[in-house]
Amino acid sequence: MNARHAAAALLLLGLLGCASTPDGIKNILPDALKKDERPVIAQIVSTDSKERNWAAESEADLFSRRVSEYVVPFLPAERYLNELLDRVRKASPVPELPAKVYLTSKMSLAADSTEGHNIYISLGWLESVDSEEELLVLLAHEFGHLALRHHDSDGFFNAQKRLKILSAFIMSTANQNSASVGADKLSTKNKRVLNNQEILIQLMDALVHPMWKREQEVAADKFARDILSKLQISAKAQIAFFDRLAKDEEQVALAKKDAPVKVDTDFTLGGVLQSALDELKSYQHPKAEDRANEIAEYADKFYSEVRKEPKSSSGKLVPKGLDTLRKSPQFVSLQKNYKAALEAESAYGNEDYELALKKARLAVAKPTENHAYPLTELLKALLKEGPSLKAPRQIARNRKEIDDTWRRIARLEERSWTSYAVYFDNTSDSLETKQKVLEESFRYFREAPVLQVHRVTYYSKWGNSKKAEELAGVCAMKSPEYRDLCHNAAKKGSRKS
């Protein structure tokens, strides 16, 4: 962080006396950041999971994930990963805690857990790990977030945003009711209150929330170390995990270095503060090297007597389940087809539409002929092929293939929002038809919070600013984490109209 950003951050902290010191910040948070000298696994308190409808929450979360990325419907991998997760869960203090693993299409090292108690692991992880133990490290880390109830923090921060929105509504009503008795003074005072609330929200989002997230990552790493010790798995697996992450971080850093630099030209106080906030928000994950060092100290403290190489009861250090899965003809074909889909996507981005179509046709072969990712890449390429065709027979064939591909997509049990975005952005269907499809997709994806932004964006884009503004208000109350994105999308439409 440069000096200008650091100064802005300090100024922002100074605006709120209660949060101007580390202790002050921790005092306004739940107990999650308070020190506990016991092993992390000993700090977990079992809760009655029967109070929540986990199946419904998991399903809603899965549909929400399909809005933002492709989930790979490949049962052999799902079954295998969930068997590994069961080993982690049974070794934990909360074996009854629900959780399920799903596979995503990303070829990078991507994994996360969610409030709906789903864990998402990328194809990239499944391909790159050297051993089953390394996968257990990853799954133990993600399950640790669930066992330690880290996702409760999201509810804490979203509650602030709901409070601010509710305050604005109440004050607006009060202003209207007191129009005859000093409404201007009341309005000025209320604006100051709302502005202070907004500063607090921005501070929590940019500084406290990332700090909390970093604490959570370290805690989940420690939980994984606890679980691995109970499973009698060598510390080498966790070292290999961090080494792999460190190499991935290096590659990402090199890619960012080669990317065009965005020049910050807003030197107003507001611009400086926003730049500082944006940079602070990017520090949510500690570096892999720092995490490895933290775990080494933790292991020395609690597990120094078991630093030798423990083996499983069978005497085999690396079970064969991972190799069996990766060598299966189905997985080899799936891997090949998804890489073809990725190549099609890359070619499309480079405007090589002929190559994109060629790769997309390869991607829809068995066993992925009914997967959303390959079909969506095929649809994109076919839509680009159409305008270049001149012969009536070729145009008719292209039109038929587009219609057939869209029908296949619309009938999938496991769809992706990206397919719908391609349809809305590239087809010539009427606005009435598109709005009908938009509402149908909103219901299919179980009214996923993240979809609120897309819904507002399209109504705004199609010139229905009144509907966009109405939906932005609904979005702010139901999904406060997307409040700003929804309002900005609605404003774009109102400016155009």
Q: What is the pLDDT of residues 318-357, one digit of tens each?
A: 446 999 999 999 999 999 999 999 999 999 999 999 999 9
Cα angle at 382 between 440 and 363, to 5 degrees? 90
Which pLDDT does position 195 carry in this prediction? 59
**Strand, helix or coil at 320?**
coil
Residue with the bigger pLDDT between 464 and 153: it is: 464
- The predicted model gives 101-125 an average pLDDT of 96
Which pLDDT does position 5 carry in this prediction? 45
Local structure of residue 260 (DSSP, 8 states) = P
Strand 118-122 relative to strand 100-104, pairing: parallel
pLDDT value at 108 more than 70? yes
Residue with the bigger pLDDT between 435 and 233: it is: 435
| CA 143 – CA 223 distance, rounded (Å) | 9
Which pLDDT does position 231 carry in this prediction? 93
- The predicted model gives 417-430 an average pLDDT of 96
Percentage of the chain exceeding pLDDT 90: 56
pLDDT value at 138 more than 50? yes
Residue with the bigger pLDDT between 124 and 299: it is: 124
Residue with the bigger pLDDT between 180 and 239: it is: 239
pLDDT value at 491 more than 90? no
| CA 164 – CA 195 distance, rounded (Å) | 9
pLDDT value at 198 more than 50? yes
In DSSP terms, 111 is beta-bridged to 121
Local structure of residue 118 (DSSP, 8 states) = E
> How confident is the model over 292-325, as pLDDT tens digits?
999 989 988 888 754 444 444 444 444 469 999 9
Residue at 86: amino acid letter: D
Which pLDDT does position 45 carry in this prediction? 79
- Burial of residue 143 (number of CB atoms within 10 Å: 0-12, 13-18, 19+): buried
* Residue that is written with structure tokens 């590239």 in the block: 426
Residue with the bigger pLDDT between 175 and 420: it is: 420
Q: Where are the alpha helices (DSSP H) in 350-448?
A: 353-363, 372-385, 392-411, 417-426, 431-444
HSE-up of 292 (CA within 13 Å, CB side)?
Answer: 15
pLDDT-based confidence at 471, cuts 50/70/90?
A: very high
Instruction: Out of 103-107, 131-135, 163-167, 268-272, pick the least confident.
Output: 268-272
Residue 367, preceding bond cis, omega within 30 degrees?
A: yes
pLDDT-based confidence at 433, cuts 50/70/90?
A: very high
| CA 82 – CA 67 distance, rounded (Å) | 23
HSE-up of 149 (CA within 13 Å, CB side)?
Answer: 15
Mean of the per-residue pLDDT values of the chain:
80
CA-nearest of 130, 66, 142, 132 to 100 is 142
| CA 46 – CA 117 distance, rounded (Å) | 15
Which pLDDT does position 153 carry in this prediction? 59
pLDDT-based confidence at 253, cuts 50/70/90?
A: confident
Residue at 300: amino acid letter: D
CA-nearest of 338, 104, 135 to 231 is 135
Instruction: Out of 10-24, 221-235, 395-409, pick the least confident.
Output: 10-24
Which pLDDT does position 34 carry in this prediction? 54
The helix-helix angle for 152-177 and 183-203 (nearest 10°) equals 170
Which pLDDT does position 496 carry in this prediction? 54
Instruction: Out of 145-149, 254-258, 273-277, pick the least confident.
Output: 273-277
